[in-house]
Structure 1
Amino acid sequence: MSEVTTEVPQAKLTVLDRWRYYLAFLFFALLWMGGLAVVSAVLLPQHLKDVAPQNYTAIFTALNSATALASLVSNLLFGNLSDRTRSRFGRRTPWILGGGVVGGVSLFLTGAFDNPWLIGFWYCVCMFGLNAMIAPIIAALSDRVPEDMRASMSAFMSLGTTIGQSMGTIIAAFFINAVLPGFLVSGILMGISGLAAVLIWPTEKSAADLPPVESGFGDLLKSFIPPTKGARDFWLAFLGRTFLIFGYYMILNYQLFILQDYMGIEKTRSATIMAGMSTVVMVAGLIGSLGSGFISDKIGRRKLPVAAASVCMGVGYLLPWVFKTEWSMFAFAALAGFGYAVYGAVDQALNIDVLPNPEESGKDLGILNIATTLGQMVGPILTGILVGVAGYNGVFPVAIAFSVIAVVFFYMIRSTK
């Protein structure tokens, strides 16, 4: 009988392995977010404006909702399936590699059609590929990284996300008048992200000798049931994350429209401003991500950094609402970018701290990541509704209120400081 082995986090990683994880999380996040940001922040809104000039806002809102729903389903699905995978390549690796291929190809195809239905179909497929990578990668934080290094690792992922988002927006500005080549670049970036992670970090151990899982369809369905026992703090973290993401994506996904429709800035100047804002976000993210992650691990606190991040983001939403100028959007980029980077650096470490059952980390972290999806889905829907009812003056105060609500939920958590 073969010996059953599980891959558990070591008490201490070697310096080399630590940096391999750091760089894997960094480049994975930088590449997939860079590819997605090229599309989501600039090229997709502009593509819709070009192909459907009469109702692009409504289509954009519907697409955001559909793709967020696809992310919600796929995050939970692939997190759980990776928990149950018994491959000689490990539990997580096959999904990371396959997801990169699907995500990259479908992201390119999103820009290859003028029909809104086909655009929406391929964008949804892209979300399935993307989450087939993200859910297992995040679960690896629990599987393979010691507890006192998780915020630092999460910080490198947050840093990659921040830089990638800025890089993608800057790249997109060069393709504002020729979107198809931009979609190709975005697909390549996302397509190689999973491969980069797998090649850089230490090879995942075989999962072929792990205890088998129940294989019946009923057992599979039961495995998707959310945690209930000892899960109070788990759900508080879920709610805090949901409301924070609500506010952030209410503004983030509408930056181009805020500049053009709320502030009256023309198309080319808007793209230039967004590129400059992305540089500000990148610098703020560099400072916020690395500093907060290492500090959180050092002092052993998670709630204080995420609460401070929420407040910082709320102030960032206030400025363009009050001043309605180009500089106020740059201030938004600095404050919200810094706050989101601080939050992202500590967020995954906090989520792992509140897991009811580490053996189901892929599934439960997938559920927590649904909070991000809900925010991405509901935030843009709410923005679209508010713009229709009260204009953009109704959007900013709601985003600020959501940031305050997030702080309340985070501070109600008891199982971590």
Structure 2
Amino acid sequence: MSAALAEPVGKVSRRWIVAFCVAVVGTFVGWYGPLQILLAKQADAFFPADKENVLALVSLLGALVSTVANPVWGALSDRTTSRLGRRLPWVIVGTVGGVAGLLVLAMAQSIGVMILGWCLVQLALNAPYAALSAAVPDQVPVAQRGTAGGYFGVAQTVGVMAGTGLAVLGGSIIGGYLACALFVLLSAVPYVLLRKDIVLTREQRPAWSWARFASGFWISPRAYPDFAWAWLTRFLINLGNALALLYLLFFLKDAVHLADPDTGVLILTVLDAVTLLVAVMVGGVWSDRLGKRRVFVVGSGVIMSLASLLLASWQTWTGAVIAAIVLGLGFGAYTSVDFALITQVLPEAADRARDLGVLNIASALPQVLAPVIAAPLVRHLGGYPALYLASALVGLAGALLVYRIKSVR
């Protein structure tokens, strides 16, 4: 097997980890500055009477683009023979495209331009996300992947927190988008300058055909059952989390009646992030030491469901604060262990990024379905208690299904 496709054996350096994490932070700033604050503020500013449906429509269409884009970028990076390596070109191209999408959103004053900008952000930033995700099985040995997954989870969390902070501290919708765009652009620089990537020669490149390319996005559950169960587990847990977070700004404004819901979202995001950071590092390292993944997924799912139940039954600022802390603990433990787990069920070394892209559909597709489920629940079928109860049940079901995976302890 060529060096590009072989399982890595040497531990990665701290410098690589830092540059990798900064690049991941930037990708999540580009996503979560809009998702947590800016898109909701635009919907409320331009269409206050129908803000839930407007946010749902924009989120849904962007998530549809993300669902397709991630595995496509991954498959393309698996076959890239650039002198920079397989993954770096897509980090560069996707970062520039993501910045362009954020600038379009900064100028948006209609639903059509919001949709255009958000779809461009989702399309472009999935390129670096797919490339960076694949860099872990490319370069990190299995025994270090729980820890690497912890760092990956930390970077995502810091990105969510930084994106929310930049969106609020930008002072306006335009200022928030400009701050996020600048951060996204600068964050990729250290990883690109490090230029640590595996170069694939033309002789080593997997054979290409459009039929194989298209069929590769279907990975048979019968042939690879553990991959299928990992996909379903990830999908349900992320759907539960997406339902819990989608209308957080509106929840604080309309149900909790908080005077400053923007700042409220920032405070809850920071609290969630702090507890998540602790849980993600402890969970990843502990999982590596024990050599077990599944028990952590179940435990984290139970904790996350408890947070959603708190939001369903205790709609006060105090309840929201406690729920944010609990959710951070649960999702932090899940994030680090989940990433380590999925890298151990990949079918083919030659298609790591594509297969990770298929698994990442399980993270993106909930962003499509969450608005479809959440809007009618909030507006017609029980309000926020019904929304958060659904979040708890879906997430718990996903966690319990992890025991269907047999090749990972």
Q: Same fold judged by TM-score > 0.5?
A: yes
1:229 Cα shift? 5.5
Could you tell me which runs of 5 or more consecutive residues in structure 2 were left unpaired when the two chains were aligned: none
1:195 Cα shift? 3.2
Q: Distance in 2 between matches of 1:279 and 1:411?
A: 32
1:23-102, aligned counterparts within 5 Å? 23-102=18-97
For 1:274, the aligned partner's letter is: V
Secondary structure at the aligned position of 2:207 is classed as coil
Asked if 1:288 is matched to 2:279, the reply is: yes
* Residues 167-223 of structure 1 deviation map (CA, whole Å, 9 limit, x = unaligned): 2222322245x21011011112223333333334x6113223542433443343344
Counterpart among 270, 273, 291 of residue 264 in structure 2? 273
Give the aligned length. 408
2:399 equivalent in structure 1: 407
1:237 equivalent in structure 2: 230
Counterpart among 118, 122, 128 of residue 127 in structure 1? 122
2:390 equivalent in structure 1: 398
Secondary structure at the aligned position of 1:124 is classed as helix
1:405 Cα shift? 0.5
For 1:44, the aligned partner's letter is: L
Q: Distance in 2 between matches of 1:276 and 1:223?
A: 43
Q: Distance in 2 between matches of 1:112 and 1:64?
A: 18
For 1:221, the aligned partner's letter is: A
Q: Distance in 2 between matches of 1:213 and 1:10?
A: 19
Contact between 1:305 and 1:342, CA under 8 Å: does it hold in 2? yes
Secondary structure at the aligned position of 1:54 is classed as helix
Counterpart among 155, 174, 179 of residue 180 in structure 1? 174
CA RMSD of aligned residues (A): 1.8
Contact between 1:242 and 1:375, CA under 8 Å: does it hold in 2? yes
1:307 Cα shift? 1.4
2:354 equivalent in structure 1: 363
1:343 equivalent in structure 2: 334
Contact between 2:300 and 2:330, CA under 8 Å: does it hold in 1? yes
1:7 Cα shift? 5.3
Counterpart among 151, 154, 160 of residue 165 in structure 1? 160
1:58 Cα shift? 0.6
Contact between 1:90 and 1:208, CA under 8 Å: does it hold in 2? no
Decide whether aligned partners of structure 1 residues 120 and 238 sit closer, same or farther in structure 2, where only a CA change above 3 A counts. Answer: same
Asked if 1:192 is matched to 2:178, the reply is: no
* Residues 131-167 of structure 1 deviation map (CA, whole Å, 9 limit, x = unaligned): 1111111111111110101111111110011122122
Q: Distance in 2 between matches of 1:238 and 1:388?
A: 30
For 1:408, the aligned partner's letter is: L
1:355 Cα shift? 1.4
1:228 Cα shift? 4.5
Asked if 1:256 is matched to 2:254, the reply is: no
For 1:120, the aligned partner's letter is: I
* Residues 2-47 of structure 1 deviation map (CA, whole Å, 9 limit, x = unaligned): x96535343232xxx4312321332122222123222211111011
1:56 Cα shift? 1.7
Could you tell me which runs of 5 or more consecutive residues in structure 1 were left unpaired when the two chains were aligned: none
TM-score, normalization by structure 1: 0.93
Secondary structure at the aligned position of 2:109 is classed as coil
Contact between 2:27 and 2:129, CA under 8 Å: does it hold in 1? no
For 2:404, the aligned partner's letter is: M
Contact between 2:280 and 2:333, CA under 8 Å: does it hold in 1? yes
Contact between 1:79 and 1:362, CA under 8 Å: does it hold in 2? yes
